[in-house]
């Protein structure tokens, strides 16, 4: 089979899958998730359980197990929903959004014409929001091509229907986003993944992790409005939520602003932990946790507890030192 034929085969398969009713996609994903859970055939299950242990240590093992099962099903369902969303018309996707909470915040931000940065974590079914947003604003979005040409064509067609201006994930793309914001435009950034290179060490669920501070840098330099967006499925479609991000994001450094974004995501996760995408191995972005996900579960938990203790000791020592300096002065 030639590359062109492979591309066409992938594209046709994705088009076929995307034309199936979204309720069928949900049913299939639920059945598949139950099978994976029963047979324990997914390596992502350990990463999911470990991430929950890191982020929600206050819960009991039983409570985290319930969330783990729900989260695994929700995450798998999301990816099946993406196919349906990407293959559907704009009007069909708009109808799927049944309620929009905080809609006035979006319209107020757009009316101000000072630029808008939409913070969208890997949570719920975020792709459903693009078509809704495209009704009101043109978005400039970073896009990394999908490796499979057929899949890339499929996704690009969806982005084209949404009217998004796609820019590369490099400095030229950043410059284009900066220009768009200065002209009152909109961008969407998913901020909760580890940058491929570099990154700043910024706390996330209690651990300093290599993180991109691009979102905060753009917000601070352009004075654009920042909003947190997410979508959660309901029985017949989705509900969309638009929330303000603390004004403190404009204060301090870009790292300080990124910490504000991290806190907003943490708050969201604590409210709806079953809708966060927990299988991503985010916490290996701490140098002391590089091999965390390669360890047996119990050994990994022990390593985490040791690092927590080290951080507490260091924090206490810093506080004592600061108090001593203050008393001398």
Reported as a single tens digit per residue, the pLDDT across 245-301 is 999 999 999 999 999 999 999 999 999 999 999 999 999 999 999 999 999 999 999
Can you give the pLDDT at residue 25? 84
Contacts of 217 (CB under 8 A, 6+ apart): 254, 257
The HSE-up count of residue 313 (CA atoms within 13 Å, CB side) is 6
Asked if 145 contacts 79 with a C-beta cutoff of 8 angstroms, the reply is no
- pLDDT value of residue 222: 97
pLDDT of residue 11: 87
Summarised one tens digit per residue, pLDDT across range 71-103 is: 999 999 999 999 999 999 999 999 999 999 999
Q: How far apart are the first and last CA of the chain?
A: 78
Starting at the edge strand that comes first in sequence, how are the strands of the sheet with 97-101 ordered? 97-101, 238-244, 225-233, 116-119, 186-189, 139-142, 165-167
Q: Rounded to whole angstroms, how far apart are CA atoms 308 and 76?
A: 31
What contacts 48, CB < 8 A, 6 or more positions away?
Answer: 68, 71, 72, 278, 279
CA distances from 25 to 64, 131, 289 (A): 26, 20, 36
Residue ranges of the chain with per-residue pLDDT less than 50: 1, 5
pTM: 0.90
Question: What pLDDT, on a 0 to 100 scale, did the predictor assign at position 1?
Answer: 43
Residues 6+ apart with CB under 8 A from 162: 90, 130, 131, 134, 139
Whether the Cβ atoms of residue 257 and residue 202 lie closer than 8 Å to each other: no
Alpha carbon 80 to its chain centroid, in Å, reads 17
Residue 228: CB atoms within 10 A of its CB come to 21
């Amino acid at each position: 089979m030639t590359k062109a034929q492979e591309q066409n085969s992938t594209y046709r398969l994705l088009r076929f899958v995307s034309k199936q009713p979204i309720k069928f996609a949900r049913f299939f994903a639920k059945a598949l998730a139950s099978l994976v859970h029963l047979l324990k055939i997914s390596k992502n299950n350990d990463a999911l359980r470990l991430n929950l242990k890191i982020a929600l240590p206050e819960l009991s093992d039983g409570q985290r197990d319930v969330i783990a099962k729900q989260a695994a099903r929700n995450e798998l369902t999301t990816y099946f929903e993406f196919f349906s969303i990407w293959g559907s018309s704009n009007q069909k996707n708009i109808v799927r959004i049944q309620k929009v909470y905080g809609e006035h915040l979006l319209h107020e931000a757009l009316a101000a014409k000072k630029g808008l940065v939409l913070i969208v974590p890997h949570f719920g079914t975020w792709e459903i929001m693009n078509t809704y947003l495209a009704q009101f604003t043109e978005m400039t979005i970073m896009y990394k091509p999908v490796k499979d040409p057929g899949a890339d064509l499929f996704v690009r067609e969806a982005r084209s229907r949404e009217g998004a201006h796609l820019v590369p994930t490099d400095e030229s793309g950043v410059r284009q986003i900066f220009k768009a914001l200065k002209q009152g435009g909109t961008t969407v950034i998913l901020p909760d993944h580890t940058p491929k290179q570099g990154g700043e060490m910024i706390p996330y669920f209690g651990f300093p992790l290599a993180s991109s501070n691009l979102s905060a840098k753009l917000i601070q330099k352009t004075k654009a409005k920042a909003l947190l967006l997410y979508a959660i499925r309901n029985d017949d479609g989705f509900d969309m939520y638009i929330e303000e991000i603390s004004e403190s994001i404009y204060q301090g450094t870009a790292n300080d602003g990124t910490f504000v974004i991290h806190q907003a995501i943490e708050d969201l996760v604590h409210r709806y932990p079953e809708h966060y995408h927990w299988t991503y191995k985010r916490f290996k972005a701490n140098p002391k946790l590089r091999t965390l996900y390669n360890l047996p579960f119990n050994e990994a938990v022990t390593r985490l507890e040791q690092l927590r203790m080290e951080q507490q000791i260091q924090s206490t020592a810093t506080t004592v030192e600061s108090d001593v300096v203050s008393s001398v002065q």
